Chains A and B, each alone.
Chain A
Amino acid sequence: MTEIAQLVLNGIIAGTILAVPAIGITAIYAVLRFPNFAVSSIATMGAFAGYVANVSFGLPAAAAILVGFLLAGLVGVVSDEIVLKPIRRNGLLAAAIASVALTLALENVVRFFFGNDLRSYDLPIARDWRFLGLRIGPQQVENLAIALIAMAAVFLFLAFTRMGKAMRAVADNPMLADIKGINADTVARIVNFAGMGLAGIGGMLIGLDTSIDPLTGFRAILSIFAAAVLGGLGSVPGAVVGALTIGIAEELSLLILAPPYRSAVGFVAILLVLTLRPRGILGERAY
């Protein structure tokens, strides 16, 4: 019983962290209408930018994560502007294909400079806390807090700022938004910056828990897309619900499956939800 409770607790933490990149990818989908697979290597880049800030420049993890956010967002905007945006005119599926090529290229840029070795962040060593027979590490709590702050910022941005409202308008009805004078290009740039920035935070949060290498983001891509599809591709609250479901399901799967099959859980979840309820748990509304 305690074991299951521990797994659920781990799942909630993992799911909250997973929600950050899942929100990023679902927001980009809501506005640009194609699955951008570049998210996996941009998450890796965020993790490595945070690593450099943390290990080479001695910033604490919470500050280094901001560096990860900024670099990932920047790479997201620039790569979209140069690579994906012109290809979107030839078709959204062509852009999806190009995003796979893009993610492979970016992953290898990381590999070129850092090699394939596993790297760990410079973190203070701390003893796990215990309560009611459950264990939780201070770093896990910090990660949870960072993820929650990032999510709160997204919801406040979407609910209260002019740009957030414009973004929801474009996601809801691009033609109507255009008539109202909302500049779709600006919205696309902002959503790319914020979405890929969130992916960068997600990559670093995943790395803080274990270690990082050029495949950090790629290993998480099935879980990230599973979270987004489960909640309804294009729905921000859906991504949170989906991420928590996937996080808990992946941890509970350890009861019956070997650890390498964790990421297969996401795939099974995608198959199930597409067969039973293709719109996802919360449907396709952006907000």
Chain B
Amino acid sequence: MKKFNLTALTAAVLMTGSLFASSGAMASAASEKDGVTAGTACKAYSSSSEGSLKADWSTVKASSAVWVHCPGAGVTPATATNLDVTFNLEIPVDATTDVYNCYVAEQSATGSTRKVAWKAGSDAGPTAAIVDTSTAAFVGSTATAPLTYTGGCKLGAKHMLHSVIVK
């Protein structure tokens, strides 16, 4: 019996350790999502602009000024009003402009009503543009469901969008 008890205790300790490790990994996966990866370039603003986007497996690089829009798959009205969306940009010092525009938008199915959280700034080098949808201005749905969500940035020539991280 004592041997059995020791065996059971050892197994319990080992299993508890595994569960903690698993839950830690799950929490990390749930709280942070790296968006623009796996070669999926977000939709460009207009057809003429699509050709100026160069996408590899981790970065979207613009050869001329272009809007990049990323569909917010899975974002719901309940979650969209409390997000921190980080656009990890890189603005080279020799770029024609150091201004970035990034946004997160909520839109009704007909497109008749939209609500946008928008941030514009200027920077050089690695830049994190963080758009917060928990502000009083964004909270409160005034558009008729179903709603769709989009996030994106205006990339100047040579600007790079490395990732979109939603927390």
Partners in one complex: no
